Amino acid sequence: MSKFTFPVIPGQRGLATTQQLLEAGASLSQLQHLVRSGRRILRTVYSPRPGPLTGGDLLVAASLWAGPRSVLTGLHALQVHGFAYDHEFPITSFLVPNTARARVRAGGFETVRTKRLPAPVLRDDLRIAPVERALADANRLRQLSDRHLRGVAMAILQNRRTSADRLASEIEYGRPNATGGMVEAVVDFRRGSWSVAEAELAVLVREHPDLPRMVQNPRLVTAGGKRIGTPDGYFPDAGVVVQVHSRKYHDGFTDTGGDKFASTMEKDLDYQTFGIVVVPVAPTTLRDTPGTFIGKLASVVLPRLGWQSDDVLIA
């Protein structure tokens, strides 16, 4: 039996397909030896050595199994983009051309045929769908609940990883009369919300019969142009700021070692030095006891109506 050298192919993390091994000179018996020695990862993908793979290596192996034009999409593509890390789904999906075989599944991976194969984004040796397509496919493949879709979509929009227009176009491609989390996220973002909690706050304020207008995420500056801050909500007629404090985003430390929560509290104090009252609220409060919170907020805002300051302006 002639000896062959396992090929090293750029961008494949040392892995190779059956066809690539045959082209490198492997015989059928040598392929069978790789199978017996535990080096076949998926039906058509092999590793040069036995043993477990990292999560990233396994995704590359799955993309080789799915085919040369396959594109990772859905929840797992969102995670490569940097979103939805706290969500799980048992099946990892790859888009393939409509001319490919019907949906195939193996080892927790699947191929999904599409007439609209997107131009992939290359990241970590993977071809992944653009973030708006990945989100839309997570919806179509039912990989995220409506509430989770809304939250992830808002995070993507807030981080400027796509635009509301591009996300709306992707929704239209899939289902012109669509409703649900993605649609709500686009509407909320266009109204000024940067998160699901902020959107819920805005609805509570709009629906309250007595509360005045609340401006979302305004840039507050002094008369001299110095930045005061960008609160989640601001009542200009009452000098009241509402800050949605999420444990997820405010716990822990910054890249320079600073305490995120302490920094948040200091920023809240900045508003108070200008005579502005700060009302903090947790996302769970807005979700679980909205009526109680909005009543307390009204009791703070309404007595202050008529507040004025020559040194607090909306830029």
Please give the average per-residue pLDDT across 257-279, as a whole number: 77
The pLDDT of 27-43, averaged and rounded, is 93
Instruction: For residue 158, name the pLDDT band (cuts at 50, 70, 90).
Output: confident
Residue 147's pLDDT is: 86
State mean pLDDT over 223-240: 95
pLDDT band of residue 2 (cuts 50, 70, 90) is: low
Q: How many domains does the chain have?
A: 3
Residue 139 contacts by C-beta under 8 Å, 6 or more apart in sequence?
149, 174, 180, 181, 182
- Residue pair 235/213 in contact by the 8 Å Cβ criterion: yes
User: 7 lies in which domain range?
Assistant: 1-51
- Same structural domain, 223 and 179: no
Same domain for 147 and 82: yes
pLDDT (average), residues 19-29: 94
Give the number of other CB atoms < 10 A from CB of residue 254. 9
Among 74-83, 95-104, 105-114, where is mean pLDDT lowest? 95-104
- For residue 261, pLDDT over 70 is answered with no
Band of residue 250 on the pLDDT scale cut at 50, 70, 90: very low
Residue 204 belongs to some domain of the structure = no
**pLDDT tens across 197-221, in order?**
999 999 999 999 999 999 999 999 9
Q: Answer yes or no: is 201 within a domain.
A: no
Q: Are residues 60 and 38 in the same domain?
A: no
Q: For 235-243, what is the mean pLDDT?
A: 96
Average pLDDT over residues 135-142: 92
Domain membership flag for residue 177 = yes
pTM: 0.75
> Residue 269 carries which side chain, given as an amino acid letter?
L
Contact assessment for residue 143 and residue 184, using Cβ atoms and an 8 Å cutoff: no
